[in-house]
Amino acid sequence: MISTFFINPFSQEAKKIVKANGDLNKIIEENERLLNIIEYTTGQILDDDSKIPGSLWELSIKRIEWYLEKKNRQRYQPGYYRFLFNPKIAKFDVITFHILAQAIGAKFNPNSRESRIFIESEGEIVKERILRIEHQIRDDIISKILRELLNCEKPHWIQLEKLLENRRIKLTELILNDGKVILDKSAPKRIQQIINPIRENIIPALIMQETQEYLHKVHEMAAKIEPHPILVELADKIQEKISQEFFIPKKTGPGTIKASKLDFDAFPPCIKNTMKGVKAGNRNDAIVLLLTSFLSYARLYPAVFKERKPHKVSDFDPTLNITLNEILPIIYEAADNCEPPLFQDDPQEKLNITAKLGFGLHETPKLENEGESKWYTPMSCEKIKIHLPILCKPDNLCEKIQNPLTYYNRKRWQKKKEKGDKDIPGSNTKR
Amino acid sequence: MFQEATPKDRKKYYTREWRIEKIPDFIRENIHLREFGFDHTGQGPNDRYKFFPNEKLLTKFIRYRAPYAAYSSVALYDRPWKREGWISSELVFDVDAKDIPVRPCKCDNVCEKCLDQAKEIVAMIIDTLEDDLGLEEIHIIYSGRGYHIRVLDPIILKSDSEVRSQILKYVIGGDVPRLSYTDFDGNIRNLDHFMVPLGYPKVFTERSRYIILHLNGDERIEDITRQTMNKILEYRNLIRADRWGEFKGIIGPMVYKRLIKGVAKLNLQLVDARVTVDLKRILRLPSSLHSKVSMICTHVDDLESFDPLRDAVPDFVKEKS
């Protein structure tokens, strides 16, 4: 029988386990019982000792590593992580969840990349564990967990407000009646069929939400009480893992340009024209919509159109140093070059610039506000021609591309190729 | 009817007919926490950030200025004169008769028919707000060219824009329902929205029915050809009779999928979404004059019996006719 705390690390039972066994001084000790469970986990690949966590400390890191590997897919070998889905590991797992939350919450901002990855990883683990529960007992387990998380199986939808706010669920995906979300088995048979997936989907969302709130609490506490050194060390290790994942040299296709200092010579004509300053009428759109998105992506994530992966600014600039010290000053300078200077009569446009970078309507980007809005990708040449025709003075290269960012990548690529740069994959230069 | 009011008409209305008591209690009791805005020329509300500490000063201002249009915020603030210190916002749905995406009346502005249509849409939205979302304290205001639904249920007043946008999509059928289930063999199966008689699938089915039955054939539905549109019009009586399965069979499952996707987009136009998600919006002040059409923005006590052409017509219009 699966214990509910294998899915729900916030249950009363889970908390009791953590209280009784969560001695931080012991988490780096090798744990034979843990090793034994892993060894006898069906389907577990055991050919590489470095892949087997021998202590709670290592298990904590493996939890995050699993998620990063799974996300990356290219390297992911599920056979090395089967133990994460063995219910016998439940007690160890629940302790590692809390250790991780304490470490990450203490060291990082709740909206940081590290916090986000931890929350997402927890959601994914829960989803996968639910999927693996045997069909016969799944309903009972899910009912128990729902009662633990919501105190009932027919909550008022407002109880799920935070999940709606964070877009973890959609209201239109729920079955509502008189304000109640139908998650129990009282519904007619046909309805039951569609309620099952709702019941299963809402649990990871609720656990992610609780995890997020937990990180907030830990973070607040950490400001008052110094965290245990072992937690700080673990947080550093997690940060290192995550940074490796994001800045690992990936196999890139021709034309892929990595994040690096801005090369002003490679800017397309429309951007160069914007930087010189724009007259009222086109000024706001040129600075806020075109330049802000172009500069931020060109500096931090020039491969956005090639990889098509949604990212946040902090994925590439975790401390926001580059954003605050390199990107924004250029945007503000261009805004000052406008006629009349943009912020002189439109000071609120500063907020809009922050919003277009994904940090909501605030004076300057701050990690705690990240995610309040979307990080806008640069507008296409077609849109520029319609909305900002005055800036569009195409050159030869413009004819071959459809977005100013592609122009930038192509131009940089050409420049590097001309220099015989060895970093260009697939180029004719000798390695 | 629906003629623009002259400055003289406005003066007449505000001095002879208008009284502060006609502003609903839910606004009068917190006048000092709301931002007020005025349009004095017919160019839009550019006299904003107005603050009135009490009814007396508001009365004096309105009587004296006889504005082209008067507005008050849906939000309450600690410092309304700066729009700072946000306390809460009503949840609002704006159904404008002239913007209904399917208008068989084809009139240029508004007419009795499309005002009736707006009323029908309001009734549908209110049913969903009450029956599905369990919301209470819902007020209806006839705005002059349509209706405002203002929800004052305390559970919703602090909600953010994202939650409001999700409620909006729910009540107007803005998302195609995703209905899947796993059968006994573990295969994922899909259900059609019309097969589930409650919750959001039911709302979506009702709104879609409304749209399809009110199409006049000139509307553009994304990814739907003229030929398909003709077929939809030819067989839509099946939908009237709730025979959705047959209708789907006739127009073809792939076309049907495209149709409901397009209908969901039309559903989204049943209300002005910007009004619902904006926490700092100003709305026409109930009791004020909508000068563009010479009608009174009126609190509606009973939607069924409310007739704007009888209950929202100012005296100066009656006198003229």
According to DSSP, residue B4 is labeled: P
Q: HSE (CB half, 13 Å, CA atoms) of B138?
A: 20
Per-residue pLDDT of chain B (321 residues; tens, 9 = 90+): 788 999 999 999 999 999 999 999 999 999 999 999 999 999 888 899 999 999 999 999 999 999 999 999 999 999 999 888 999 999 999 999 988 999 888 888 788 899 999 999 999 999 999 999 999 999 999 999 999 999 999 999 999 888 998 999 999 999 999 887 766 666 777 889 998 888 999 999 999 999 999 998 888 888 889 999 999 999 999 999 999 999 999 999 999 999 999 999 899 999 998 899 888 899 999 999 999 999 999 999 999 999 999 999 999 999 987
- Residues of chain A that touch chain B, judged by Cβ-Cβ distance less than 8 Å: 135, 156-158, 161, 164-167, 170-180, 182, 190-191, 193-194, 196-197
Query: pTM of the predicted model, to two decimals?
Result: 0.81
Q: Grade residue A423 by pLDDT with cuts at 50, 70 and 90.
A: low
Best residue of A130, A157, A168, A172 to probe chain B, by most B CBs closer than 10 Å: A172
**Residue B279 identity:** L
Helix (H) or strand (E) holding A96: helix A90-107
Q: Grade residue A430 by pLDDT with cuts at 50, 70 and 90.
A: very low
CA distances from A237 to A38, A64, A231, B89 (A): 23, 11, 10, 45
Question: Which of chain B's residues have a Cβ under 8 Å away from the Cβ of A197?
Answer: 180-182
Helix (H) or strand (E) holding A266: none
Best residue of A194, A199, A209, A373 to probe chain B, by most B CBs closer than 10 Å: A194
Question: Which of chain B's residues have a Cβ under 8 Å away from the Cβ of A176?
Answer: 132-134, 170, 199-200
Please determine, for residue A1, whether its predicted confidence score (pLDDT) is greater than 80. Answer: no
Question: Which of chain A's residues have a Cβ under 8 Å away from the Cβ of B164?
Answer: none
Q: Model ipTM? A: 0.93
**Which residue numbers of B are catalytic?**
94, 96, 272
Q: Grade residue A260 by pLDDT with cuts at 50, 70 and 90.
A: confident
Please determine, for residue A228, whether its predicted confidence score (pLDDT) is greater than 50. Answer: yes
Distance from CA of B168 to the nearest CA of A (A): 10
Cα-Cα-Cα-Cα dihedral of B159, B165, B167, B169, to 10°?
180
Are B191 and A194 inside 8 Å of each other by CB?
Answer: yes
Q: Grade residue A141 by pLDDT with cuts at 50, 70 and 90.
A: very high
Residue with tokens 């209280």: A19
| Whether the Cβ atoms of residue A301 and residue A323 lie closer than 8 Å to each other | no
Write down the mean pLDDT value for chain A. Answer: 88
**Residue A14 identity:** A
Q: Grade residue A15 by pLDDT with cuts at 50, 70 and 90.
A: very high
Look at phi and psi of residue A420 and say left if phi exceeds 0, alpha if psi is from -120 to 50, else beta: left
CA distances from A411 to A252, A253, A383, A392 (A): 17, 16, 21, 17
**Residue A157 identity:** W
Helix (H) or strand (E) holding A2: none
- Give per-residue pLDDT as tens, B131-150: 999 999 999 999 999 999 99
Please determine, for residue A429, whether its predicted confidence score (pLDDT) is greater than 50. Answer: no
Question: Which of chain B's residues have a Cβ under 8 Å away from the Cβ of A175?
Answer: 196, 198-200
Beta-carbon contacts of A34 under 8 Å, excluding residues fewer than 6 positions away, are A53, A54, A55, A56, A59, A89, A92
Which pLDDT does position B186 carry in this prediction?
A: 67
- Give per-residue pLDDT as tens, A155-167: 999 999 999 988 8
Nearest to A164 among B162, B174, B200 (CB): B162
Best residue of A160, A171, A373 to probe chain B, by most B CBs closer than 10 Å: A171
Question: Which of chain A's residues have a Cβ under 8 Å away from the Cβ of B156?
Answer: 158
How far apart (Å, rounded) are the C-alpha atoms in residues A91 and A93? 5
Please determine, for residue A316, whether its predicted confidence score (pLDDT) is greater than 70. Answer: yes
Question: What are the helix (H) ranges across B102-184?
Answer: 112-131, 161-172
Are A164 and B191 inside 8 Å of each other by CB?
Answer: no
- Give per-residue pLDDT as tens, A285-307: 899 999 999 999 999 999 888 77
**Residue B188 identity:** I
CB environment B66-87: b (16+ within 10 A), e (fewer):
bbbbbbbbbbbbeebeebeebe
| Whether the Cβ atoms of residue A308 and residue A315 lie closer than 8 Å to each other | no
The pair phi, psi for residue B272, each rounded to 5°, is -85, 100
* B175–chain A Cβ distance below 8 A for any pair: yes
Please determine, for residue A259, whether its predicted confidence score (pLDDT) is greater than 80. Answer: no
Which pLDDT does position A253 carry in this prediction?
A: 52
How far apart (Å, rounded) are the C-alpha atoms in residues A59 and A100? 10
